[in-house]
């Protein structure tokens, strides 16, 4: 311990290294690949979820969970440097990837910023122990990227609220525990002023989780239908009709993702698809093309993009932490990582060539490269679209004029809109 009571950084690093070597298995190539592959059964998926809960609890018991979370909520109260040391020491090992986003950030981060003391003490320790997996109920079928145009309604009934509506594109809602939900509580004011945020358990009467089959067969994305879901007012986050204040910070944390000091992501792993340049090299090797100059150039490009993405995240994270950069600068890393992940997926497909059109179980990294290519745009949609990130960079970072909005000062009930999607 230092004179300030903070654990010495090198001692912490040694402790993290010893823990990883003694308790964790090797990282799965499939986990690093990501891209919502459809290559395991529901039973295998649930087994992975259960294992990640175990690993998260192991980290908690070892004093390696919630590095930058306050100690009063079960965290370690350490510094960003300690979190980075842990990320470095966990490189190459398994880790609870499903807990990082959106459970720890943005969900737990929003609770830290806006939750009541009771909410923080009830949920954050449970999250850090691996007992609660959270999802964000944000996007809606009719809203696209306009989250402020939420149609899911919350009507007050005494000490409770009654929620009705639908949310969509919630990855993993079918195996998760709690939801952080943005809902409409006032229709007589402009859309940004009539929103409120709530939390509630997902597995309860009135919530029907429907899994959406993607073009590669994956059913990780979900749509949730809420019918007369009753939520106590004690599970409201922030003030009534002030959900946009919560939402703005919520989306900041969403854009931060692996750049957040609240998440643990081993060096070399990128949430959303980056950090896989090594897999491109493996694919080139398995395809027998690593000696070809054009393929070596592509592998080098993927590696360069990976390094640039990591260094940009480090620079922006440090700039925000020190106040040199505004927090909206997180959109810079969101934009770059999304574009980079798409390009690396494309490179992966270019490297394997015709072998990406068909594969067997023995084809190593050649397998699923075509699926990854077809799903490459996911990295520019999930976690806030890159189009929205471009708007944030131009308007809130560079100070360019805002786009004209015809519904800015119009009561939301008077804003023309199409009919929301109905359940098929």
Numbered ranges of CATH 1.10.540.10 in the chain: 9-132
Chain-centre distance for alpha carbon 308: 20
Two tokens, residue 312: 């940009």
Percentages helix, strand, coil for the chain (3-state, rounded to 5) are: 50, 10, 40
- Cis-peptide into 102, omega within 30 deg: yes
* The dihedral formed by the CA atoms of 340, 345, 351 and 353, expressed in degrees to the nearest 10: -140
Which of 113, 77, 59, 53 has its CA nearest to residue 1?
77
Q: Find the DSSP H helices in 191-256.
A: 243-256
Two tokens, residue 188: 């007589």
In total, the chain counts a number of residues equal to: 424
Which of 288, 267, 268 has its CA nearest to residue 279?
268
Please provide the CATH number assigned to the domain covering 272-397. 1.20.140.10
- Give dist(CA 195, CA 75) in Å, integer: 31
Please give the chain's pLDDT, 424 residues, in tens: 444 467 999 999 999 999 999 999 998 766 555 557 777 899 999 999 999 999 999 999 999 999 999 999 999 999 999 999 999 999 989 999 999 999 999 999 999 999 999 999 999 999 999 999 999 999 999 877 789 999 999 999 999 999 999 999 999 999 999 999 999 999 999 999 999 999 999 999 999 999 999 887 889 999 999 999 999 999 999 999 999 999 999 988 988 877 789 999 998 775 444 445 666 777 777 788 888 999 889 989 988 998 898 889 889 988 988 899 998 899 999 899 899 989 988 998 888 877 777 777 677 666 777 778 888 888 888 777 899 889 999 999 999 998 887 788 899 999 887 665 555 4
Beta bridge partners of 210: 223
- What's the confidence (pLDDT) of residue 175? 97
Burial status of residue 324 (CB atoms within 10 A of its CB: 0-12, 13-18, 19 or more): exposed
Numbered ranges of CATH 1.20.140.10 in the chain: 272-397
Which of 39, 49, 421, 31 has its CA nearest to residue 219?
39
Numbered ranges of CATH 2.40.110.10 in the chain: 136-250
Contact in structure between 408 and 190 (CB atoms under 8 Å): yes
- What's the confidence (pLDDT) of residue 30? 60
Fold of 136-250: Butyryl-CoA Dehydrogenase, subunit A; domain 2 (2.40.110)
Fold of 9-132: Butyryl-Coa Dehydrogenase, subunit A; domain 1 (1.10.540)
- What's the confidence (pLDDT) of residue 109? 97
CB atoms within 10 A of CB 96: 23
Our separate counts of H helices and E strands in the chain read: 13, 8
- What's the confidence (pLDDT) of residue 90? 96
- Give dist(CA 422, CA 424) in Å, integer: 6
For the CA atoms of the chain, what is the radius of gyration?
22
Contact in structure between 111 and 237 (CB atoms under 8 Å): yes
- Give dist(CA 369, CA 147) in Å, integer: 33
Two tokens, residue 49: 């979820």
């Amino acid at each position: 311990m230092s004179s300030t009571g903070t654990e010495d950084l090198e001692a912490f690093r040694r402790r993290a290294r010893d823990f990883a070597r003694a308790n964790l298995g090797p990282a799965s190539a499939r986990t690093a690949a990501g891209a919502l592959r459809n290559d395991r059964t529901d039973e295998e998926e649930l087994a992975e979820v259960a294992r990640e809960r175990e690993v998260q609890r192991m980290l908690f018991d070892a004093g390696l969970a919630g590095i930058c979370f306050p100690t009063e909520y079960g965290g370690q109260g350490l510094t960003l440097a300690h979190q980075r040391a842990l990320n470095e020491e966990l490189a190459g090992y398994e880790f609870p990837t499903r807990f990082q986003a959106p459970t720890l950030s943005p969900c737990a981060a929003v609770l830290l910023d806006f939750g009541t003391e009771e909410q923080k003490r009830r949920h954050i320790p449970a999250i850090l122990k691996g007992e609660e997996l959270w999802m964000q109920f944000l996007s809606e079928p009719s809203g696209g990227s306009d989250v402020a145009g939420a149609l899911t309604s919350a009507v007050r009934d005494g000490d409770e609220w009654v929620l009705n509506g639908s949310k969509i594109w919630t990855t993993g809602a079918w195996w998760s525990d709690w939801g952080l939900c943005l809902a409409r509580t006032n229709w007589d004011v402009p859309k940004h002023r009539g929103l409120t945020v709530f939390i509630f358990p997902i597995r309860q009467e009135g919530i029907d989780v429907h899994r959406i089959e993607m073009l590669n067969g994956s059913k990780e994305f979900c749509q949730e239908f809420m019918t007369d879901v009753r939520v106590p007012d004690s599970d409201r986050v922030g003030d009534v009709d002030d959900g946009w204040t919560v939402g703005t910070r919520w989306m900041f944390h969403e854009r931060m993702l692996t750049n957040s000091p609240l998440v643990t992501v081993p060096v070399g792993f990128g949430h959303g698809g980056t950090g896989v340049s090594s897999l491109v090299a493996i694919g080139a090797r398995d395809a027998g093309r690593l000696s070809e100059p054009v393929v070596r150039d592509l592998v080098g490009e993927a590696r360069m993009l990976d390094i640039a993405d990591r260094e940009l995240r480090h620079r922006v994270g440090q700039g925000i932490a020190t106040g040199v950069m505004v927090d909206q600068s997180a959109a810079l890393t969101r934009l770059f990582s999304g574009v980079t992940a798409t390009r690396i997926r494309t490179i992966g497909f270019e490297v394997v060539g015709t072998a990406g059109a068909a594969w067997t179980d023995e084809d190593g990294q050649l397998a699923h490269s075509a699926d990854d290519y077809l799903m490459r745009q996911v990295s520019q949609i999930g976690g806030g679209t890159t189009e929205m990130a471009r708007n944030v960079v131009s308007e809130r970072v560079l100070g360019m004029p805002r786009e004209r909005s015809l519904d800015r000062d119009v009561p939301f009930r008077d804003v023309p809109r199409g009919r929301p999607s109905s359940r098929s």
